[in-house]
């Protein structure tokens, strides 16, 4: 069975690894991206190499019209979304005392409003099909907190509350809703931290290294599968033992 998956923010980093993993496990994958068509195409290339089918779609996941058009495109080209991975996320780090409203609002929109918009847009078909998977990428920041990330951490804690509530709403219809909370994973997002911060981070990780995107993606692949049918409303941490 080839199910349809939509991965938001699928052009780079963890999203790219998730797109490839879902292709490897037999999904047809829609890769959403915001600004980097070249990166999205590169991900689509990796999906094809993994033996899968991919399309790429530009959309601001915090924008009502963009999300409606994106989901419409997926339905037309691949079919109704059966697996939604809310992965798109941005950071606008800074101490709260110096944080602008724009930095707060941008992070809220891309990281949290997107969950409302994207999940709502695909849920109707899932309810009707009595099957669905909604997997959202949170962060250890949303559980343990992180200085300089009040905006980001608030959205990632929000991901967990959203996940638990929606899991209760739609569980009776065979739809599972889960969150995956990575710690420090080697991506462009963490590369911005600089070597000193990264080295300090590694010191507090039980496994003594940063995570790899594929190590987050494998859990997402599992949660998307039939094997994970009895897991819902969970926020599963993949952090190498950082937040212990």
Partner 1 sequence: MERVEIESKLVDLLVEELGIERDNITMSAKFEEDLEVDSLGVVELLMALEDNFDVKIPDDEAEGITTVGEAVDIVSTKING
Active site residues: 152
Give the nearer residue to partner 1 in terms of CB position, either 187 or 232.
232
Single out the residue of 172, 188, 226, 227 in contact with partner 1 (rule: CB under 8 A): 172
Q: Which of residues 116-155 bind partner 1 (CB under 8 A)?
A: 124, 127-128
Q: How far apart are CA 114 and CA 90, in angstroms?
A: 12
Distance in Å, CB of 109 to partner 1, minimum:
23
Q: Is residue 170 a contact residue for partner 1 (CB under 8 A)?
A: yes
Give the nearer residue to partner 1 in terms of CB position, either 123 or 219.
123
Token pair recorded at residue 65: 């019209």
Helix (H) or strand (E) holding 54: strand 53-58
Give the nearer residue to partner 1 in terms of CB position, either 101 or 172.
172
Q: Is residue 169 a contact residue for partner 1 (CB under 8 A)?
A: yes
CB atoms within 10 A of CB 77: 13
Q: Is residue 164 a contact residue for partner 1 (CB under 8 A)?
A: no
Going by C-alpha positions, the residue among 132, 28, 137 that lies closest to residue 83 is 132
Q: How far apart are CA 6 and CA 53, in angstroms?
A: 12
Give the nearer residue to partner 1 in terms of CB position, either 120 or 209.
120
Stretch that binds partner 1, among 29-37, 164-172, 188-196, 209-217 (CB under 8 A): 164-172
Going by C-alpha positions, the residue among 46, 126, 113 that lies closest to residue 83 is 126
Q: Is residue 24 a contact residue for partner 1 (CB under 8 A)?
A: no
Distance in Å, CB of 131 to partner 1, minimum:
14
Q: Is residue 173 a contact residue for partner 1 (CB under 8 A)?
A: yes
Instruction: With beta carbons less than 8 A apart as the criterion, state whether 98 and 186 touch.
Output: no
Binding footprint of partner 1, residue count (CB under 8 A)? 7
Strand order in the sheet with 235-238: 53-58, 28-33, 4-7, 83-86, 132-137, 175-182, 235-238
Where on the chain is the footprint of partner 1 (CB under 8 A)?
Answer: 124, 127-128, 169-170, 172-173
């Amino acid at each position: 069975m080839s199910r349809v998956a939509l991965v938001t923010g699928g052009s780079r980093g963890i999203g790219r690894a998730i797109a490839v993993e879902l292709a490897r496990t037999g999904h047809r994958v829609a890769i959403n991206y915001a600004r980097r068509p070249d990166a999205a195409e590169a991900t689509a290339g990796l999906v094809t190499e993994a033996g899968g089918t991919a399309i790429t779609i530009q959309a601001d996941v915090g924008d009502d019209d963009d999300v409606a058009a994106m989901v419409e495109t997926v339905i037309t080209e691949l079919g109704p979304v059966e697996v939604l991975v809310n992965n798109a996320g941005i950071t606008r780090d800074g101490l709260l005392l110096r944080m602008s409203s724009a930095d707060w609002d941008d992070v809220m929109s891309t990281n949290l409003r997107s969950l409302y918009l994207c999940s709502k847009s695909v849920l109707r078909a899932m309810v009707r099909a009595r099957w669905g998977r909604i997997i959202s990428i949170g962060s250890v920041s949303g559980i343990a907190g992180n200085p300089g990330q009040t905006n980001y951490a608030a959205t990632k804690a929000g991901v967990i509350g959203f996940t638990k509530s929606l899991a209760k709403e739609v569980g009776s219809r065979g739809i599972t809703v889960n969150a995956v909370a990575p710690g420090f994973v080697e991506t462009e997002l963490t590369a911005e931290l600089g070597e000193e911060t990264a080295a300090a981070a590694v010191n507090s990780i039980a496994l003594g290294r940063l995570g790899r995107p594929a190590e987050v993606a494998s859990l997402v692949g599992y949660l998307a599968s039939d094997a994970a049918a009895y897991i819902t409303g969970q926020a599963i941490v993949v952090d190498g033992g950082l937040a212990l």
